[in-house]
Structure 1
Amino acid sequence: MTKWDRPERFRRGRAITAFGAALAITLAPMQPAFAFQQEQTPVYRDAARPVADRVEDLLSRMTLEEKVGQMQGLWENKGDVQTPEGDFSPERASAAFPHGLGQISRPSDMRGVDPTTNGAAGVTEGAVNRDGRQTVEYINAAQRWALEETRLGIPLIFHEESLHGYTARGATSFPQSIALASTWDPELITQVFNVASREMRARGVHLTLAPVVDVARDPRWGRIEETYGEDPHLVSEIGLAAIRGYQGDTLPLAEDRVFVTLKHMTGHGEPENGINVGPAQISERVLREVFFPPFERAVRELPVRSIMASYNEIDGLPSHANRWLLHDVLREEWGYDGLIVSDYFAIREMVTRHQMFADIQDATVRAMDAGIDIELPDGEGFVHLPELVAEGRISEAQIDDAVRRILTMKFEAGLFENPYADPDTADALTATPDAIALARQVAGRAITLLKNDDQTLPLRADGLGRLAVLGTHAVDTPIGGYSDIPRHVVSVLEGLEAEAESGGFEVVYSEGVRLTESREWAADEVNLVDPAVNARLIEEAVAVARQSDVIVMVLGENEQLSREAWAENHLGDRADLQLVGQQMDLARAIFALNKPTIVLLLNGRPLAVGELVEQADALIQGWYLGQETGNAVADVLFGRVNPGGKLPVTIPRSVGQLPVFYNHKPTARRGYLFDETSPLFPFGYGLSYTSFQMSAPRLTNPTIRVGEAAQVQVDVTNTGPVAGDEVVQIYVRDDHASITRPVLELKAFERVTLQPGETRTVTLDLSPEALSLWNLDMERVVEPGTFTIHAGPNSVDLQSATLTVR
C-alpha cells in the first residue's frame, strides 16, 4: 500500500499593469497627510514589494480596533453608511466604522433603503436594485471613503452572489447550477463564469460567494438546484471549471476576474429529513469519500482564497465551531492558506438555532478557535473581539493570522493600486451579445431528453398546422434562486412564436394551471392558487389543445417551490416530490385527448413524475434554463440543437426510495414489497435524436503497479442520421477491499460531438487517486487487487474490463 501524496503547493506571483501603477501614483496624494509624516512611501504602498512584505508592514501599523474592522462585513445594517436615498455617506460611515471596514456585501442591492426589498439575492416583486452605473458610483464612493477617510487607507472588498451569473440588475442570467452540471461540459462552464466575472468586475466587485460545491444527496432539499449534483467527481470537475472561469489559474487577480468563495464546508447537501441546515448524519469516511473531494481538489489544484463554512452540524458540532474540519483538515491536511468566512448570521445561529452557546460572545470565541476569519454579513459577534482579547479569551495573534489572510487577498486583487471601477463602461460590459449567445448555447446543451417515443421530436414546421403551448411556465419563466432581473427573459411562448413566424405554423397558448400566488423568491409566505381557479383554466386549456395538432405542456416548479429555507417562516424544502398543485390534473386531461404531447419540465429539484413518463410522447428535463429559456427550447424542439444533456442526479420513482444516489453500497438495494428499487431515471442518463454505439472499455495496460495511473480507451460511433453529442462515462468498482466499497464510482467522462457515421476513440486517464480508498486507519491508499472498469452512456448501460493492481 502507498499513501496518497500531496501535490506541490502553488507559487504566488506578482504583477502590476502600467494603468495600475499610474493609478497608484494618482491615489497617493489622496491619503490622509497625518498618516505618513515620517516616511514618503510605506512598504505596503510600494507595489514593487512582495505581497508578504506589504502585508507585514501594514499589519505592524494597525491598531487592534483596525484589525477587527477588517474582519467584519456590512449588509444587514448597510443603512448605517447610507443616506435615506441609498447613497453612500462618508460621514455616516466614519461614525459607524471609525477604524475602517473589511467588506461590504451585495452593493448592487438596495438594502437599507426600501424595507420591502430586504436585500435578498432573488427576484423581489416591485424592487429595483442598482443598475451598473449606480453600483459603480456606490462602490467608488465607499472605496474613496476607505482610502481617504480612514487612517491607513485600506480599500474595501465588495462581494456579491453569482450562482449562475451575476445576481444583479440587468446582468446575464445563465441556467441554474443543476442545469449547468447537466451539460457535463467543464470547458463551457469556464466560459460561463468568465462572463459572470467580467460583469462583476466591471461594476467594481472583487469577490463572489460562489460556486456551491456541495454534493447533494437529498432531492427534498430546496437548495439542490444550487448544486452540481450527487457525484463528487462531477461536482469537482464542474466546480474546478467554475473557479477557472471566475478567477483563472494563477494570482494575482486579473483586472476582469473575481475571487471565488467555495461553499459550504461541508455536509450541507445531505441534511436530516431533507430540511435545510439540518444535522448531517455523516461519518468521517463518507465525508472524505463524498463531501470533501470537491473542496480538497479545488484547494490543491487552484489558488482558492475564500471558503465559506456551512450552517449544519456534523457529529454534534456546527461547522463554524468545528476546529477539526476547518483547521485540522482544511488547513493542516490540505495546506489551505486562504480565508474562511462565516455564512450569513451563522455565528448568531450557534446561539439561536443550534442552541449551543448562551450568548454571541461565547459563539464568537468558538468560531475564532475553529478558524473563522471574517464574520458575514455583519460583525455582530466579531465587534466584541477587542473586549474578548482584553479578557484573554482570544489572543491578538489569532486576529493577526486572520488579518494577514484578509490583507493578502486585497493586495492580490490589486486594490491598493486599482481600487475604482469605471461607471461609463459598467452597463456596456453587461449582457453583451456574446454573453446572450453563450446563455442560449449553454441552455441548449443543458436540456436533457428523457423520453422520445416514435421520434416525436424533433418537430417539423412543415405540415405542423397548430401548436398548443400550455402551462404558466410557458409565459412566466422561472430562472431559479439567486437571480435578479435580467434585461430580458425569453419565455417558451416567445421562442415558439418566433419559430412559428419563420416556420409558417400557428401557436396558441393557454395558461392551464397556476402554481403559487407569487413567484417572489424572497417572500416568506407561499400560497397555492385556489383549485377552483385552476379547474376553470384546465377547461380552457383542454379546449385549446383539442383544436391543435401537437401539444407542448410546460410543467414544474418556480422560485418559491424549490429554494433556500433560511428561517422557520421562510421554507423551501418538501416532504414529497410530486408536481405541485393541479398540474397532474391538467396533464391527465390533455393525455386523454390522445394527441402528440411533449412535456417540458422547468424545475429546481428532481421530481417523481412516473405518470408523465408513462403517458407523454416526449419528456424533456430542462431545470431552470436562464434568460434564453425560450430560444433554447425552440432550438431543441425543432432540431437545430440535438439534446445531449445528462442527468447530474438520480431521479426517484417516489420519495420513499430516498436516499437514491447511484453510488450506494452493495447492501443498499435489496428490494421493497410492492415496489421497485430502481430509479425512474439513473444518474448520467440522457437521450439524443441520433443513436450511438459504444465499445467495451480497453485498458492500454491491464496490469499496473500501486501508485501508477491507468488509461482507458472507448470507441464511440454515431450510428444515426444526424450529428449529436454523447458523454463517455467511466465508472470504477473496487472488487474486493479492506472496507466496503460503492457499487460504482464515476471517475472520468468526456462529452464528444460526432457527425453521422463518425467514430472516435476517447482516451481517459484514471489517476491513482481514482483507485484509492480510505482504509481502516483513515489513510488514503491504493490497495492491490482487481478493479472493474465500466464504460457507458449512463450509470446503468455499461460494459466492463478488468484492471489488476499489483
Structure 2
Amino acid sequence: MRKYFLAIAFLSSYVSYAQSPAYKNKRLSPDVRAKDLLARMTLEEKVMQTQCFWAQKAGLLDTLGRFDEAKAGTVLKNGLGEIARLNEKGGPNSDGRHPKEQAELYNNIQRYFIEKTRLGIPVMVHEESLHGQQTQDATNFPVPIALASTWNEALMGDVFTSVAAEVRARGGQQVLAPVVDIVRDPRWGRTEETMGEDPYLISRLSVAQIKAYQGGGVYLGRDKVAATLKHFGIHGQSEGGLNVSPSNIDIRTAREVFFKPFVACIQEAGAMNVMACYNEVFGLPAHINSYLLKDILRKEWGFKGVIVSDYYAVRDVQTLHKVTPSLDEAGVLAINAGVEIETPDPDGFKNLAQAVKSGKVSVKVLDSAVKRILINKFRVGLFDNPYVDVARADTLVGSASKRAVAYRAAQEAMVLLKNDQQVLPLDKNKIKTIAFIGPNADKCLLGGYSGKPRVTISPLQAMKERYGDKIKVLYAEGVTLTDKNNWFADTINLAADNPDKSKIDAAVEIAKQADVVVLFIGGNESMNREGWASNHLGDMPTLELLNGQIELVKAVAATGKPMCAFVNSGPPLSLGPVTAIVPAIMQCWYLGQESGYAMVDALFGDINPSGKLPISFPRTAGHIPAYYNYKPSARRGYNLGFDASSLFAFGHGLSYTNFGYSDLILSEGKIKTNGKTTASVTVTNTGSRAGAEVVQLYIRDDYSSVPRPVMELKGFQKIWLEPGQSQTVHFTIDTSALSFYNKDMKWVVEPGTFTIMAGTASDKTTSVSLTVIP
C-alpha cells in the first residue's frame, strides 16, 4: 500500500511539473529554464531585467520605510533585474537596517515580484560585502589588504563563508566582491580594498573567496551568494594613482600581471559575475571596450556569467570620458560592447526598448544579456526558494561564531615589521603602568565599505578590559588626524592646528609616568579611500605620516621610555622616520571589529604574529613603483646615495620565534619543457615559541627571448611549528610556473636555466638552479 501511495505521489508531482511552464521546473538546468522563460517575455520585460534600482528604491517605500505595493505597481509592472543595497534605511549610503527588519522588507518586496508581475520573475538583491556586509549589525572582518597578509587560503574560506551566510540570511543573493585588482601604486585610495601587488597570491586567495561565496554546485546552497569580480580590466595602476584615471598598461603586462586573478577566478572557481572597471584600458573605456569584454573575457576565457557595470560607469562614458554627448548612446555602446546590467540606477539603459526598436541594439544582444541574468537568478535559487527566515537572520548575523572567525582573521593579519632586541612581546608581569599614545589608540578603525557591527573594540578599551585591574593604563591622543573620520563624507580636511604642541607635551607627560609606551599611529579611513567623484576625493600624493605624528614619535622617544608602535592604515605608509626611532613596529592595517583585542593580545604575546606583506613598502612616494617583480632594467639606483630598494619587501613579516631554512633541493635538476619537478625545503622553528611561517617559492627565468621579472612568486604554504619542530615543504614546478608570453605573444616554456628560490620573504631566500631542455 505504501508503495502505491508513493507511486501516486510521484505521478502527481510529474503531472504537475509537466503542466507548469518549464522555467518553474527545478529539475531542469538553469540554462533550459532561462531559455524557456526568455521565450515568454515581452520586450519591455526583457529590458527591465537589465535595470537596477538604488536611489530609486526609495520610491517603492512609504513614509515609514515599508514596501508600498501601489507605488511599485506603477513602475515595476514589467519586473526588475536587481535592487542595490536593500539594507539601507534611507537613500544611498544611509544607515542600515537591522537583520530582521531587512529580511522582512525583502520578503515583502520579493512577494510582489513573484505574485503580482505577469511571469513572477524574482528580483535579485546585491550588497556590498568586501570584508563583511556594509550594513547594520553585520560582522566586520579585516580589510582585504589585511586578509591578504594572512597568506591563508583556508582562513579566507572561513571568512567569506561567514560573509555569504550573513548576506543571504537577510535577503541578499549577490555580492559586489571580491576586488581582485592588482595595485602597483599605493597612493591609490582603494589600495586597502585589494589583496596587494602579486598576481599569484591574489589568484590563490581570490579563488578561495569565490568558492566560499558560491560553493561548487550549479544551484547554490541557501547560505551562498553569487560573487562579482571587481574591476576588469586594469584598475590598480592608473595615472598618478588617481581613481578612474587612464591605465596606460601594455597588453603583455596586462596579460601576465593584471589579468591573472580574473582568469583564475573564472576558470577555477566559476565566478558568476564580472564588473568592468571605470578606467580607460588600451585607450578605450572598459565599459565600451568589446575587445576586453567580448574577445578576451568571453571568447578567450570562456566566461559565461553576467557582465555588470560599475556604479554610474555607463553615465561616465558621456560625462567623464566624453565619448558621446548622448546618455542613451552611451548605453547603446555599453550593451553592444558586452555590459549586461547597469548599476546602480537606470541611466544609459533607461531607453533600451527604443534602441532595440530602432535597430541600434539587436534583439540577439538583448536576449543574450537577459538569458545570462535569468540563469544567475535560477542558480541562486530565487525561483525555487525565494524567501528568507526572518528569525534566523537575527540570530545568525553577528553571532559568536562569526566573531570568532573575525578575531582569528585579525590575529593572522598583523605583520611584525621590526622587532629589535625582541622588544615585543611585552611581559605583562613586569609592567605596572603602560601608556597608550597616539591618534588611533582609542579608535576601532574598520576601513572603507564598513557598516556598524554589533560589537567594536579599540586597543585602549581592550587593554582596560583585559588588564585594567592589574596594570595602570594611561592614555593621550597626542595629535588629531582629520577634522572628521567618516568614509562617506564628501569633504575631509586635516585637523586644524596640528602639530598641536600642547597635545604633544601632554602626551610626553603621560609617557614619563609609564614603564612602557605603545604608540598607535598611521592613518584613518578618511585619509586614503575610494575617490568616487570629483567632490568626494580619496587618493593621496604622499604616503607620509601626517599631521604631527613624526613630531609626536620623536617627542615621546626623547623620554627614553621603552616603546613600540602599532600602525593602522589602508595603504603601506612611508615609515622610514619611525623605523629610525622605534625598535618594534607592527603593521595592523584595519583589522575589523575585533581589532582592539587582537592588537592587545599580540602586544603581550598571547598572539604570535604570522602575517606577511602582500605589498612592498616604498621608502617614500618618490620610490613608487616599489613592487618586487620588476624587470631587470628597473631599479638601477638613485643618485646621492638614495636607496632604490623597498623599506620592507613583499613577503616580509617577522615572528616572536625564529625559523631556519635548509636543504633546498629539486627532485629533478633537469626537465623538458613539458616536464615538472618538485622543490623541497626544510623549515625549522629554532626559537622558543610556537609559531606560523609562510614558506615562499620564487622563480626567475635567467635568460629569455623577452625581458622577464627578476623573480615571481609561484608557490606558498603556511605551516605551524612547535619549538624545535621541522617540516619539509614541497612545491610542484611545472609548465604553469615556467611559462610566459614570448616575443610573438605565445604562451611557452623556453629552454634554459631557471633560478628556484625559497625563503621567508622575497628578499630573504636561498636558491638552486633548474635546467629546462627542449
User: TM-score band (shorter)?
Assistant: over 0.9
Q: Does 1:57 align with 2:36?
A: yes
SS of equivalent residue, structure 1 residue 159: strand
Please tell me the residue identity of whatever aligns with 1:187. Answer: A
Match of 1:535 in 2: 501
Q: 2:334 aligns with which of 367, 371, 387?
A: 367
Q: 2:567 aligns with which of 601, 614, 617?
A: 601
- Mapped to 1, the partners of 2:596 and 2:403 lie a distance apart of 13
Q: 2:545 aligns with which of 579, 591, 607?
A: 579
Q: Shift in Å at residue 780 of structure 1?
A: 1.1
- Mapped to 1, the partners of 2:376 and 2:687 lie a distance apart of 52
Q: Shift in Å at residue 599 of structure 1?
A: 0.6
The Cα offsets for residues 624-657 of structure 1, whole Å up to 9 and x where unpaired, read as 0000011101111111111110000000111111
Match of 2:412 in 1: 445
Q: Shift in Å at residue 703 of structure 1?
A: 1.4
The Cα offsets for residues 97-144 of structure 1, whole Å up to 9 and x where unpaired, read as 2211010000001244xxxxxx22xxxxxx532110111111111101
The Cα offsets for residues 766-801 of structure 1, whole Å up to 9 and x where unpaired, read as 231111101122121111211111111000111111
Please tell me the residue identity of whatever aligns with 1:53. Answer: V
Please tell me the residue identity of whatever aligns with 1:778. Answer: M
Q: Does 1:494 align with 2:473?
A: no
The 5 Å alignment of 1:633-782 reads 633-674=599-640, 675-782=642-749
The Cα offsets for residues 18-52 of structure 1, whole Å up to 9 and x where unpaired, read as xxx99xx9xx9xxxxxxx9xx94111111122322
The Cα offsets for residues 738-764 of structure 1, whole Å up to 9 and x where unpaired, read as 110000100100111111111100011
- Mapped to 2, the partners of 1:406 and 1:700 lie a distance apart of 49
SS of equivalent residue, structure 2 residue 732: strand
- Mapped to 2, the partners of 1:615 and 1:137 lie a distance apart of 55
Match of 1:354 in 2: 321
- Mapped to 2, the partners of 1:766 and 1:188 lie a distance apart of 25
Q: Does 1:276 align with 2:243?
A: yes
- Mapped to 1, the partners of 2:480 and 2:310 lie a distance apart of 34
- Mapped to 2, the partners of 1:557 and 1:532 lie a distance apart of 15
**Preserved contact between residue 697 and residue 759 of structure 2 (Cα < 8 Å):** yes
Q: Does 1:323 align with 2:282?
A: no
Match of 1:264 in 2: 231
Match of 1:564 in 2: 530
Match of 1:520 in 2: 486
Match of 2:6 in 1: none
* CA 1:771–1:532: 2 relative to 1, 3 Å: closer
Calculate percent identity across the aligned residue pairs. Answer: 45
- Mapped to 2, the partners of 1:694 and 1:250 lie a distance apart of 41
Match of 1:803 in 2: 770
SS of equivalent residue, structure 2 residue 680: strand
CA RMSD in angstroms, aligned pairs only: 1.5
Moved more, 242-251 or 626-635: 242-251
The 5 Å alignment of 1:186-585 reads 186-501=153-468, 504-531=470-497, 534-585=500-551
**Preserved contact between residue 696 and residue 801 of structure 1 (Cα < 8 Å):** no
**Preserved contact between residue 71 and residue 382 of structure 1 (Cα < 8 Å):** yes
- Mapped to 2, the partners of 1:490 and 1:442 lie a distance apart of 15
**Preserved contact between residue 614 and residue 650 of structure 2 (Cα < 8 Å):** yes
**Preserved contact between residue 328 and residue 350 of structure 2 (Cα < 8 Å):** no
Please tell me the residue identity of whatever aligns with 1:579. Answer: L
Q: Shift in Å at residue 570 of structure 1?
A: 0.7
**Preserved contact between residue 236 and residue 298 of structure 1 (Cα < 8 Å):** yes
- Mapped to 2, the partners of 1:804 and 1:682 lie a distance apart of 28
TM-score (normalizing by structure 2): 0.96
SS of equivalent residue, structure 1 residue 802: strand
Please tell me the residue identity of whatever aligns with 2:626. Answer: V
The Cα offsets for residues 208-251 of structure 1, whole Å up to 9 and x where unpaired, read as 00000000110100000000000000111111111111112332
Structure 1 runs (4+) greater than 6 angstroms displaced = none
Q: Does 1:164 align with 2:131?
A: yes
The Cα offsets for residues 129-186 of structure 1, whole Å up to 9 and x where unpaired, read as 2110111111111101111111100001101011111212101001110000000101
Match of 1:8 in 2: none
Match of 1:17 in 2: none
**Preserved contact between residue 696 and residue 799 of structure 1 (Cα < 8 Å):** no
- Mapped to 2, the partners of 1:766 and 1:258 lie a distance apart of 34
Q: Does 1:623 align with 2:602?
A: no
Match of 1:67 in 2: 46
**Preserved contact between residue 479 and residue 498 of structure 2 (Cα < 8 Å):** no
SS of equivalent residue, structure 2 residue 767: strand
Match of 1:3 in 2: none
Aligned pairs, number: 760
- Mapped to 2, the partners of 1:710 and 1:264 lie a distance apart of 35
Please tell me the residue identity of whatever aligns with 1:596. Answer: P
Q: Does 1:48 align with 2:14?
A: no
Q: 1:134 aligns with which of 92, 101, 119?
A: 101
Q: Shift in Å at residue 533 of structure 1?
A: 7.7
TM-score (normalizing by structure 1): 0.93
Q: Shift in Å at residue 532 of structure 1?
A: 5.5
- Mapped to 1, the partners of 2:495 and 2:502 lie a distance apart of 12
**Preserved contact between residue 65 and residue 99 of structure 1 (Cα < 8 Å):** yes
Q: Shift in Å at residue 704 of structure 1?
A: 1.5
SS of equivalent residue, structure 1 residue 349: helix
Match of 1:97 in 2: 76
**Preserved contact between residue 499 and residue 548 of structure 2 (Cα < 8 Å):** no
The Cα offsets for residues 398-428 of structure 1, whole Å up to 9 and x where unpaired, read as 0000011011111111111100011111010
SS of equivalent residue, structure 1 residue 440: helix
- Mapped to 2, the partners of 1:632 and 1:102 lie a distance apart of 41
SS of equivalent residue, structure 1 residue 728: strand
- Mapped to 2, the partners of 1:266 and 1:755 lie a distance apart of 43
- Mapped to 1, the partners of 2:663 and 2:753 lie a distance apart of 17
- Mapped to 2, the partners of 1:762 and 1:449 lie a distance apart of 23
Q: Shift in Å at residue 696 of structure 1?
A: 4.9
Q: Shift in Å at residue 714 of structure 1?
A: 0.8
The Cα offsets for residues 575-627 of structure 1, whole Å up to 9 and x where unpaired, read as 01101211112111111111111110011011001010010021010000000
Q: 1:86 aligns with which of 45, 58, 65?
A: 65
What are structure 2's unaligned runs of at least 5 residues? 1-8
- Mapped to 1, the partners of 2:64 and 2:471 lie a distance apart of 51
**Preserved contact between residue 755 and residue 767 of structure 2 (Cα < 8 Å):** yes
Match of 1:794 in 2: 761
The Cα offsets for residues 239-272 of structure 1, whole Å up to 9 and x where unpaired, read as 1111111112332101111110001002101010
**Preserved contact between residue 317 and residue 324 of structure 2 (Cα < 8 Å):** yes
SS of equivalent residue, structure 1 residue 711: strand
SS of equivalent residue, structure 1 residue 595: coil
- Mapped to 1, the partners of 2:422 and 2:497 lie a distance apart of 35
Q: Does 1:110 align with 2:86?
A: no
- Mapped to 2, the partners of 1:497 and 1:747 lie a distance apart of 44
* CA 1:537–1:47: 2 relative to 1, 3 Å: same
**Preserved contact between residue 696 and residue 800 of structure 1 (Cα < 8 Å):** no
SS of equivalent residue, structure 1 residue 436: helix
SS of equivalent residue, structure 1 residue 383: coil
- Mapped to 1, the partners of 2:487 and 2:385 lie a distance apart of 36
SS of equivalent residue, structure 2 residue 428: coil
- Mapped to 2, the partners of 1:49 and 1:463 lie a distance apart of 68
- Mapped to 2, the partners of 1:50 and 1:606 lie a distance apart of 47
**Preserved contact between residue 95 and residue 135 of structure 2 (Cα < 8 Å):** no
- Mapped to 1, the partners of 2:634 and 2:410 lie a distance apart of 35
- Mapped to 1, the partners of 2:691 and 2:391 lie a distance apart of 43
What are structure 1's unaligned runs of at least 5 residues? 1-20, 29-35, 113-118, 121-126
